[in-house]
Amino acid sequence: MTRHAHQMQRHTVVLRELDVLRVERLTPHMQRVVLGGNALRGFLSASPDDHVKLFFPNSAGQLVLPTAGNGRLEFPEGLEPSPMRDYTPRHYDDEFNELTVDFVLHGDGPAANWAAQAQPGQRIGAGGPRGSFIVADDFDHYVMIGDETALPAVGRWLDELPYGAQATALVEIPGSADRQSLSSRAQVELTWLERDSLDPAASRLLEQALERLPAPRGDAFWWIAAESSRARRMRQYLTDELGVPKEWVRATGYWKAPGSVEEE
Ligand SMILES: Cc1cc2nc3c(=O)[nH]c(=O)nc-3n(C[C@H](O)[C@H](O)[C@H](O)COP(=O)(O)OP(=O)(O)OC[C@H]3O[C@@H](n4cnc5c(N)ncnc54)[C@H](O)[C@@H]3O)c2cc1C
């Protein structure tokens, strides 16, 4: 049998209007929003690496959602479309039909601004996930590296890893108050890297920690999510300098700093 074979699952794209059920400020820079409503029934998210497209009210306060036609999202003509951004399904509880999404409060942006004021009774749109990248479960070690936007996915990875798995997580956060209590059945080495006053795009705390990391024993899968050019550089370091096979690394730009030209 092929070793370390990942799978890509495709899902039919479903667009939904969801209700905000609860809001909880987890840490100074992380707002948890729990979404629900009948439209959420049947929601499917197979991997911590999944994302949904969330749609926020436009400048007139209206939700103007697209339809998923011909594999593309098509907005109604003549109306200002709802701004959309990608977010990780942190947890879906199919018994209570609740979807948890954790929003970084990074400053000014339609998603972060909406999350900062979110209240029960409000509505947003959600599309997808369109697909799930299922990482092979036969690696000896899993390494997750990311900034605070990756924290929902890292938290979910750790929740879902089985007993006996080995994992290392490097997570860069704005400050010590942004640490979260994460649980796992796996054997996990978690390192918090606190940026304090450093700019999140200019910080190199993750890169330095990655260079200092002792080589994991056996075959390791590396998952990286951070500002786009930082994610790209860390992937290059692994594949070009350490010679890690490309298929053992998944690096994604989760946001783009102004002036950054690289896309993941
Ligand atoms: C697959 C995927 C999953 C993601 N999951 C999550 C998640 O679960 N939780 C989460 O919070 N984010 C997540 N993100 C990141 C999120 O989509 C971006 O941070 C997004 O840009 C936020 O939108 P906004 O409207 O707040 O800001 P935008 O309008 O997109 O940006 C406004 C300004 O803010 C800057 N900016 C954007 N994000 C950040 C940041 N994090 N730190 C500093 N400056 C920033 C931009 O450079 C820009 O100058 C994910 C991204 C991807 C691709």
Q: How far is CA 101 from the centre of its chain?
A: 9
Per-residue pLDDT of the chain (264 residues; tens, 9 = 90+): 689 999 999 999 999 999 999 999 999 999 999 999 999 999 999 999 999 999 999 999 999 999 987 778 899 999 999 999 999 999 999 999 999 999 999 999 999 999 999 999 999 999 999 999 999 999 999 999 999 999 999 999 999 999 999 999 999 999 999 999 999 999 999 999 999 989 999 999 999 999 999 999 999 999 999 999 999 999 999 999 999 999 999 999 999 999 876 544
Centre of ligand 1 to C-alpha 30, Å, is 12
Residue 260 lies in a domain: no
Centre of ligand 1 to C-alpha 113, Å, is 11
Amino acid at 94: D
Domain that holds residue 183: 137-255
Centre of ligand 1 to C-alpha 82, Å, is 16
Residue 82 lies in a domain: yes
Do residue 89 and residue 186 come from a single domain? Answer: no
Token pair for 104: 């970084």
Do residue 243 and residue 182 come from a single domain? Answer: yes
**Through-space distance between the first and last CA atoms of the chain, rounded to whole angstroms:** 31
Residue 261 lies in a domain: no
Atom 33, ligand 1: which residue's CA is nearest?
109
Do residue 69 and residue 113 come from a single domain? Answer: yes
**Which of the listed residues 56, 84, 86 should we mutate to test ligand 1's pocket, taking the one with most ligand atoms within 8 A of CB?**
86
